[in-house]
Amino acid sequence: MERKPIRLTVNERTHDVVCEPNATLLDVLRDLGYTDVKSGCEQGDCGACAVMLDGKAVNSCLVLAWQADGCGIVTNRGLGSMDAPHVIQEAFADSGGVQCGFCTSGMVIATKALLDRNPDPTEDEIREALSGNLCRCTGYGQIIGAVRLAAARLNDSGSSPASSQSEDGREADSASRLRVSGDASPHGGEGREPDPTDHVPASDRAAKDDGEASSLREEGREHNPADHVPVFDEQADGGDGAC
C-alpha cells in the first residue's frame, strides 16, 4: 500500500499527515492525540468515535482518512475546554450524564448535530438522535436529561447552538453557567488532570514527523478500548445475510 500525504483541519488546527489507504479517520485522529475520540465497536454501531466532518456528525471509524483529506473536523474537545466548556458539555456534567465517560464525546457530538438542526427537540427526537450512540453504563435517562437541559439553556440564552460556539468552543461561555468543579467533566482527557491548554490538541508530535502516525497507531492498538466493550454482533450473525 502506498502512503499518501493528506491534510486534516482538526478543531481549527491544520495537520499534514502521511497515512496508508486503509487508515480510518478514527485511527489518524487518535494518533494525532485527539484521544477524546474513542475507539469502540469500529463498525458504526456505538457512536463513541463520532466527530463533525465538514459540519456533519459521522462515525470516524467508517471514514477512511484519505476521504477526509482537506476536510474540517471538530471533536468533542474542539467544542469547549475545561475553562470554557460548551453548553452541551456543561449540561452533561450538570445532569449526571457522564458516568464512565467513554461514550460522552460521541454523545456530545450527536447532541450538537441534533440541536444545530432542531433547537427544541421532543424526547422521542432526542432518543432517535442518540440511537446510534451506546452507553454501557446505561445512563440514558440522565443523558437525555442533559440534552434537554442543553436545549433549554441554549434557548434561554437566545443563542442558537450554531452561534454559541465557534469551532473550538471559545464563545461557549457566553451562554453558560460556569461550574466551579471539573470533577464530572465530559472532557475527553483520558484520566489526566484538567489542563487549561487542553483545547489545543497534543499534536505537535505529529506535526514534527509525518511518518509517526503509523507507528503511533500500532501503539494505540495495545490500549484499544474495544477489548473492554461488549461485542456488537447484531450485524455479524449472518443469519439472513442482512449484513
By CB under 8 A, is residue 183 in contact with other proteins? no
Q: In terms of CB distance, is 63 or 175 closer to other proteins?
A: 63
**42, 94, 168, 198: which one binds other proteins (CB under 8 A):** 42
> How deeply is 183 buried, as exposed, middle or buried, from its count of CB atoms within 10 A (0-12, 13-18, 19+)?
exposed
- How far is Cα 111 from Cα 145, in angstroms, rounded to an integer? 12
Query: Which region, judged by CB under 8 A, interacts with other proteins, from 58-66, 154-162, 179-187, 195-203?
Result: 58-66
Which of 62, 152, 162, 184: binder of other proteins (CB under 8 A)? 62
Q: Element (H or E) spanning 148, and its range?
A: helix 140-156
Considering the complex, state which of residue 5 and residue 196 has its C-beta at the smaller distance from other proteins: 5
Tell me the C-alpha distance between 206 and 72, whole Å: 17
Cα diameter, the chain? 53
Please identify, using beta-carbon distances, which residue of 82 and 150 lies nearer to other proteins. Answer: 150
Please select the residue that binds other proteins; options are 9, 66, 166, 210, rule is CB under 8 A: 66
Sheet holding 56-59, edge to edge: 13-19, 4-10, 72-74, 50-53, 56-59
Instruction: Tell me: does residue 57 bind other proteins (CB under 8 A).
Output: yes
- Output the CA–CA distances (angstroms, integers) from residue 22 to 4, 137, 228, in the order listed: 11, 32, 24
What phi and psi values does residue 116 have, to the nearest 5 degrees? -60, -35
Q: Are 95 and 149 in contact (CB under 8 A)?
A: yes
119 binding other proteins? (CB under 8 A): no
Give the x/- contact pattern for other proteins in 188-227, rule: CB under 8 A.
---------------------------------x------
| Cβ 24 to other proteins shortest distance, Å | 7
Region from 40-48, 87-95, 196-204, 205-213 binding other proteins, contact rule CB under 8 A:
40-48
- By CB under 8 A, residue 47 contacts other proteins: yes
Place of cell 467544542: 79
Interhelix angle 87-94/104-117, nearest 10 degrees? 120
**Does residue number 234 form part of the binding site for other proteins (CB under 8 A)?**
yes
Q: Rule CB under 8 A: which residues touch other proteins?
A: 1-2, 20-24, 42-44, 47, 50, 53, 56-59, 61-64, 66-67, 110, 113-114, 127-129, 131-133, 221, 234-243
